[in-house]
């Protein structure tokens, strides 16, 4: 984990930086209008005139919601405050997904942990039902004390994962190498809070402490931004399409910083997992 030097470096250089170019056609969501609570009964709640949402997990059930509409390409942002205290065994998710056995999916998953230990941010990309492209990170802050912004930029050229507007991962379109890339299926935004103590914390060694239930995560400031207009999808966006949403030179430096100091697993370096050779998309990246 990063020490005092890295923390100071972050505070002194990251605040106020703009990694991505300006965008248009943004639409800040009202949860009453733009999402539906899909499971968990009254464990999912919407407050403050549609500006705040909570999901809870108890011994009997978790809860979840999804966007009412689908979209093809764009940027989604959500401010999330994760489960506080001892969250071992729980998983909070925020992701895009299409439907069916050959679905596409772009994942943020937050793996709970015992009090004082860092939360693990798990990312993955599925295309045509094929995943196994995991990268995992510690965060450089306590995600349970305040809201933080988590974003997915999904374009035909690449997918960018961001935390507080800092890029932590780029998955490029490598179809020329035979690597499937999600670009044909419209997706919804989903989120859930559920029990996964058979694997989520230390490989399932640490179980959920139900005496701490209910576990609750909070959401606000959901925003969807149209980056590529598409007549083939019914999307959440309005207005003109954005000009661009790319990583600039400062963004590339922040990406390298996040991956150097906070990445704890990368499938592209797991030679034991791929003894016959790493996946083709791992062999070169312009980032």
> What does the pLDDT look like over 168-196, one tens digit per residue?
999 999 999 999 999 999 999 999 999 98
List the structure tokens of 6.
Answer: 């890295």
pLDDT for residue 23 is more than 90: no
Most confident range, picked from 26-30, 60-64, 198-202 = 60-64
Quick one: average pLDDT of 85-106? 94
Classify residue 23 by burial, with Cβ atoms within 10 Å: 0-12, 13-18, 19+: middle
The residues with which 130 forms a beta bridge, in sequence order, are 127
- Which residue, 64, 89, 94, 86, is CA-closest to 189? 94
Q: Which percentage of the chain shows pLDDT scores above 70?
A: 82
Higher pLDDT, 85 or 10: 85
Higher pLDDT, 63 or 248: 63
H or E stretch including 220?
strand 215-225
pLDDT for residue 241 is more than 50: no
In angstroms, the first-to-last Cα distance of the chain is 22
Quick one: average pLDDT of 80-105? 95
pLDDT for residue 136 is more than 70: yes
Most confident range, picked from 14-23, 197-206, 233-242, 252-261 = 252-261
Distance between CA atoms of residues 113 and 126, nearest Å: 25
Instruction: Among 1-15, 26-40, 68-82, 186-200, name the one with the lowest average pLDDT.
Output: 1-15
H or E stretch including 10?
helix 4-13
Alpha-carbon distances of 177 from 4, 79, 136, 183, 282, rounded to whole Å:
42, 35, 24, 16, 11
Whole-number pLDDT of residue 205: 79
The residues with which 161 forms a beta bridge, in sequence order, are 152, 169
CB atoms under 10 Å from CB of 35, counted, come to 24
- State the average pLDDT for the chain: 85
Whole-number pLDDT of residue 17: 36
Angular region, 250: left φ>0, alpha ψ -120 to 50, beta rest: alpha
* pLDDT band per the 50, 70, 90 thresholds, residue 285: low
- The answer to whether the Cα torsion of 105, 250, 3, 270 is positive or negative is positive
237-275: string of b/e by CB count within 10 Å (b at 16+)? beeebbeebebeeebebbbebbbebbbeeebeeeeeeee
pLDDT for residue 207 is more than 80: yes
Whole-number pLDDT of residue 239: 36
Distance between CA atoms of residues 78 and 222, nearest Å: 4
Catalytic residues: 105, 109
Whole-number pLDDT of residue 284: 67
* pLDDT band per the 50, 70, 90 thresholds, residue 203: confident
pLDDT for residue 255 is more than 90: yes
Whole-number pLDDT of residue 74: 94
Whole-number pLDDT of residue 236: 39
Distance between CA atoms of residues 55 and 93, nearest Å: 11
């Amino acid at each position: 984990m990063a020490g005092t030097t890295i923390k100071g470096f972050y505070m002194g250089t990251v605040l106020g930086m703009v990694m991505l170019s300006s965008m248009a056609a943004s639409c800040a969501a009202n949860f009453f209008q733009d999402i539906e609570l899909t499971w968990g009964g009254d464990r999912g709640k919407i407050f403050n005139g549609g500006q705040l949402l909570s999901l809870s997990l108890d011994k009997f059930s978790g809860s979840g919601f999804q966007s009412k509409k689908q979209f093809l390409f764009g940027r989604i942002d959500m401010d999330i405050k994760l489960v506080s205290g001892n969250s071992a065994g729980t998983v909070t998710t925020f992701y895009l997904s299409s439907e069916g056995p050959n679905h596409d999916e772009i994942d943020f998953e937050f793996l709970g942990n015992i009090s004082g230990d860092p939360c693990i941010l798990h990312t993955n990309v599925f295309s045509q039902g094929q995943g196994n492209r995991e990268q995992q990170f510690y965060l450089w802050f306590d995600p349970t004390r305040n809201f933080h912004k988590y974003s997915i930029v999904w374009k035909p050229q690449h997918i960018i994962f961001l935390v507080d507007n800092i890029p932590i991962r780029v998955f490029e379109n490598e179809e020329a190498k035979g690597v499937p890339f999600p670009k044909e299926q419209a997706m919804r935004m989903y989120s859930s809070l559920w029990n996964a103590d058979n694997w989520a914390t230390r490989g399932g060694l640490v179980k959920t402490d139900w005496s701490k239930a209910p576990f609750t995560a909070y959401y606000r400031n959901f925003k969807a931004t149209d980056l590529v207009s598409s007549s083939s999808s019914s999307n959440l966006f309005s207005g003109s399409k954005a000009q661009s949403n790319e990583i600039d030179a400062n963004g590339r430096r922040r990406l390298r910083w996040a991956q150097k100091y906070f990445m704890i697993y990368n499938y592209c370096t797991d030679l034991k997992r791929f003894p016959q050779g790493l996946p083709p998309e791992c062999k070169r990246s312009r980032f």
